[in-house]
Structure 1
């Protein structure tokens, strides 16, 4: 029997997935609600003429008997279909698995962990032990469901942490994973995939009876792997950096050139997770972060759900494939792995001495065409990474506690600081995305929040208006922050327009002829739709005391990716942007420091 999904009346269930069937469904807004919010959200970014054109296109889309009505009715029918968990069930695979560009750097994200002072092999062994403890607890459904303000959060994404691999496709990718029709229940794999100097090694970390190897045995096996010379053949891992259809063709070539390559791919794709051992020590957190984002492609398999990366000096982090995993799930995993000493994880997981773990090189048979393909992929990705500029900006004297002491929502404070810094750096206010978690819903993931409001425009104008007194600036700041909080709550409640409209557009692409909706939809060419979604800032937060930095790539040619770790006593912001606009990003970083200090002083002066 399930425990109370409300978090009241009974104690929380200890079983990981007990709440899933009782979670509320993601609400499907009415077409009228979405249309009204869409106009409200895009208006601050548009001229009067652009807004008028957008309104006209929206009215045509939503008119009685119009295309929007037919598409929305189809979505309502889909949402009511037995076995459908959410009206977004089809949307998410298209959004992530349908993208055709490279996922390395563009979609995968990373966390940089705090240093422990351990050596490389010991650090890697400890992370493996922590992950195995987490996996075995997950398999037995002993991971307690996450509660947020007493409300259960979906745990469904945890099913994609282990032995999950994205498989490239010519038109759309797929995911090979446990808890599926092909493989019901948790993964029964006993091995991980270890990279070192582009050598790929299958390492058994669980014994025949499912018990983990001891820390000493894991450490010894890793030390043995690290005696290897650089690989003689180029690593097929570089192929995972290619655009998806191109990688799909390369994967077919791998399978065709020799039958043994199927077994090699199987070992890679079923591995519990990757451990990427680097043979160098980064100079600082900036270099470590950059390498976690786009490290040497031959020492990665970017399609693996989880890749733990450990540098030569023992510093470590994680690179994550995004299609089935959001930051909140990975934070839960990281906090579990890093929240206890490795020895405690090893003991609690039932680790026992079983002798040296079995090690087996994973080798691919290559022909000259594949060797050339791999080398060209590696060179192309290196050039792509070099064309990306980054900056890690840290604030050791400001955190969420300081914002709260000033009577301000911490997230609203930093988001307004981003807006002010961007206006000063680039001379304009541009479309800004913020990811908002919606895990309180069944199969919930995230909502797309658009940050720019009329109050934001008034705030940034007041801050640089020489005639505006401090009281007026502070009032504008607070009004903008309050508007931000209101919009974030709308998104948390599943009441945002963008994904709803986007899915209606996708329904026409998939089923337009069947539904009789084949006409051109001017709404999706309108200024409101195109300008609101053309990011100048793409932002996301990852609060965890166990990580130094969090990062991802930018989403467009003029975009600055803003990944931030906001904790009670500090703020760390990792910025990324295309190199050709790097100067503006560097100015933004400087202006951000200025904005945070200026806004603190402005609110402090009120008291």
Structure 2
């Protein structure tokens, strides 16, 4: 059975709130976070399609990325393999034509969409650390609003306001303004809003503004990744009106929307959250068999366990449906995290007992009001998550609906979800917990902040801040190991319809030359080193522009490989380019890096993508460079890398400012 926190006549209570709250003059303003002049999806039909690069350009870019990683002899071998692949009798032209033909038949999407979804959903590794990243909020500027239940209530209300605005089509479209002073204004919105959707993108382009793909935004809410053998599925039920709350490993749900789709008043939201806390306080700090730990498992194992869980009782199946369909997971941790590293560890993985990693995203708030988003990555990328992240911070801090002194006498309607477990299921949960503890205990987090060096100095010396940051990673790894390795930097291709990401390859001949020079016992002159930094910046800038315009090589080669895997001629033995050790090596990304820029981001982090790698989340402020480095000792020494990174930035800074 489902356990109720408070038994009453739900229909009567809901009707009372609808009538009472509709009488407020601010009701409509409360229901929606924005009322955009331009409909949310106005630009979507006219977005340009993600281009398929020319095969010869892909070959050239691939070889340029391989050059700093290979010896002269190995590069010569790889060069011959690539020439054979793209030659008139090679596999490349045939596979490329298949990809182009397929793309022409599917103009509603991009060539990367399906294989990219398949890649994510078919991978069997556990989601936490391996895939789910985090974004950590700065604190509410008004400290009184950082009380856990107050911040949770305000962020929950702002989230539902965001969701309702999105679904009503009145959330401001996501647009990149090249010159915000000239385009981020009412004139732009009036002109582009009057244009038909099929040509609206071109109108925005005349303002030097670039609308971004918003196809991922609807997947933020009421969504869940469900494990299945071999390949997971993404589930969504937009009719559900409830939120999932986890506290002390127990599951609770309550409606945040009434029968007419209106958000319940702030007093009701607060009362329900207070009820969750009081109900969970009646339980031990941690359940003996925390069901949420199951989402930390290898995906096939979790698929079997979930099937077993449903078979035990219809009650479990009902509970899982409520978990799957909830707007998102709101997680209230009953502990404080002292220090930056414990904070990152808790938000990135925790102990698994108070998590459900399969939800599209979880909003996690600890006892001190520290808050983060942990999101499942298959459905979408940083653009959608960061927009939600920014909007609800601004809304919850500038228009808080719940206040520290708010009193409520409302009748809460909270349902606790009980899972019935047999001995086999208890054993599965216990084993999963031991396995997860083993993995998380291996992961090391190291943090570096480098004050006094940031965007201001980089721009003063006319070099790209991102290029300088990436150069620091290259110099640090060379300082630590004397080598260059495959490096991944994520770049959004959301300027195109159904774009996902492309890879920037920051390890270049320019960064290799600078790393070897600055780390040598006899470095060149300061003026020569400055010229080398400028060269690194130019090369990195070109790579970034190419990637953002869909002109990298990684996604193209990935798409060609997918066609080769089902091609009669190549399915048994893939073309040699994919069997070349150099191809495996460049896709073994020892340095995996990513950043999302926002004034509301305190930190961003993710796990290494390979066992002997570093996961590097970084921030570039006006006067500070910051990184969070994850690693698995003894495969890599994160503390030593951070020390090398600090020395690298000292070296780069001293070169630039002299």
- TM-score of the two chains, using structure 1 as the length reference: 0.92
**8 Å contact 1:207–1:354 — kept in the other structure?**
no
State whether residues 85 and 575 of structure 2, in contact with CA within 8 Å, keep that contact through their aligned partners in structure 1.
Answer: yes
Q: Alignment partner for residue 190 of structure 1, among 221, 234, 241?
A: 241
Q: What CA distance in whole angstroms lies between the structure 2 residues aligned with 1:396 and 1:545?
A: 16
Q: Which residue of 2 aligns with 1:89?
A: 113
- CA–CA distance in structure 2, aligned partners of residues 545 and 474 of structure 1: 30
Does the residue aligned with 1:319 lie in a helix, a strand or coil?
A: strand
Aligned equivalents of 1:319 and 1:516: distance in 2?
Answer: 40
Match of 1:57 in 2: 81
1:201 lines up with 2:252 in the alignment: yes
Identify the match of residue 159 of structure 1 among 192, 200, 218: 218
Q: 1:232 to 1:438 in 2, by over 3 A?
A: closer
In structure 2, which of residues 142, 147, 151 is the aligned counterpart of residue 119 of structure 1? 147
Q: Check if 1:317 corresponds to 2:353.
A: no
Q: Is structure 2 residue 656 aligned with structure 1 residue 603? A: yes
Corresponding residue number in structure 1 for 2:19 = none
Other-structure match for 1:429: 484
Partners of 2:222 and 2:228 lie apart in 1 by 19
Compare 81-90 and 146-155 and name the one that shifted more.
81-90
Following TM superposition, by how much is the alpha carbon of 1:212 offset from its aligned partner in structure 2, in angstroms? Answer: 1.9
Matches within 5 A, 1:521-540: 521-540=575-594
Q: 1:56 to 1:356 in 2, by over 3 A?
A: farther
- 1:304-330 Cα offsets, whole Å, 9 max, x none, are 011011111111111110111212221
Aligned mates of 1:393, 1:373 — CA distance in 2? 39
Q: Secondary structure at the match of 1:563?
A: strand
**Which of 159, 182, 203 is 1:131 aligned to?**
159
Find the counterpart in structure 1 of residue 558 from structure 2.
502
In the other structure, the counterpart of 2:9 is none
Aligned: 1:473 with 2:526: no
Residues 462 and 476 in structure 1, CA contact (< 8 A), matched pair in contact too: no
Secondary structure of 1:601's partner? helix
Q: Taking structure 1 as reference, are residues 232 and 535 closer, same or farther at Cα in structure 2, changes over 3 Å only? A: closer
Which runs of 5 or more structure 1 residues have no equivalent in the other structure? 1-11, 179-186, 348-352
| Bigger Cα displacement from structure 2, 75-84 vs 286-295 | 75-84
Q: CA deviation at 1:383?
A: 1.1
Q: Is the 8 A contact 1:200 1:362 kept in 2?
A: yes
Q: How does 1:62-81 map to 2 (within 5 A)?
A: 62-81=86-105
Structure 1 segments (4+ residues) deviating >6 Å = none
Distance 1:55 1:121, change over 3 A: same
What is the alpha-carbon distance in structure 2 between the residues aligned to residue 153 and residue 419 of structure 1? 31
Judge which range, 281-290 or 518-527, deviates more: 518-527
Query: Retained in 1: the 8 A contact 2:478–2:516?
Result: no
Using the TM superposition, give the Cα deviation of residue 211 of structure 1 relative to its aligned residue in structure 2, in angstroms.
2.0
Aligned-partner Cα distance in 1 for 2:155–2:135: 14
SS at match of 1:194: strand
In structure 2, stretches of 5+ residues that fail to align are: 1-35, 179-208, 403-407
Partner of 1:550: 604
2:269 paired with 1:218: yes
Question: Do the aligned partners of 2:249 and 2:291 also contact (CA within 8 Å) in 1?
Answer: no
Counterpart-to-counterpart distance in 2, 1:431 and 1:570: 26
Distance 1:444 1:577, change over 3 A: same
Say whether the 8 Å CA contact 2:597–2:619 is kept in structure 1. yes
Q: Distance in 2 between matches of 1:138 and 1:345?
A: 20
SS of match in other structure, 1:142: coil
SS in 1 for 2:136: strand
Report how far residue 342 of structure 1 moved. Answer: 5.0
> More deviation in 61-70 or 104-113?
61-70
Which range moved further: 29-38 or 100-109? 29-38
| Partner SS state of residue 105, structure 2 | coil
Partner SS, residue 340 of structure 1: helix
Partner of 1:330: 385
Give 1:571 deviation, angstroms.
2.9
Tell me the SS of whatever aligns to 1:156. Answer: coil
Conserved in 2, the CA contact under 8 Å of 1:205 and 1:357?
no
Q: Distance in 2 between matches of 1:357 and 1:224?
A: 7
Deviation at 1:370, TM superposition (A): 0.7
Q: How far apart are the structure 1 equivalents of 2:220 and 2:49? A: 23
| 1:265 pairs with 2:320 | yes
How far did 1:111 drift?
A: 1.1
- The separation in 2 between residues aligned to 1:569 and 1:160, in whole angstroms, is 36
**Residues 432 and 539, structure 1, Cα contact 8 Å, conserved in 2:** yes
SS in 2 for 1:226: helix
Pick the aligned partner of 1:170 from 199, 206, 229.
Answer: 229
Q: Which residue of the other structure, out of 541, 550, 561, is the alignment partner of 2:615? A: 561
RMSD: 1.9
Matched-pair contact (CA < 8 Å) for 1:43–1:528: no
Q: Are the structure 2 counterparts of residues 516 and 486 from structure 1 closer, same or farther at C-alpha, using a change threshold of 3 Å?
A: closer
Counterparts in 2 of 1:467 and 1:378: CA distance versus 1, 3 Å: closer
Q: Per-residue displacement from partner, 1:372-393 (whole Å, max 9, x unpaired)?
A: 1011111211110111111122
- Indicate yes or no: 2:55 matched with 1:31: yes
Going from structure 1 to structure 2, the CA distance change for 1:435 and 1:343 (only over 3 Å counts) comes to closer
Alignment partner for residue 452 of structure 1, among 487, 507, 512? 507
* Counterparts in 2 of 1:89 and 1:166: CA distance versus 1, 3 Å: same
Q: Distance in 2 between matches of 1:602 and 1:516?
A: 51
Number of the residue aligned with 1:590: 643
Aligned length: 578
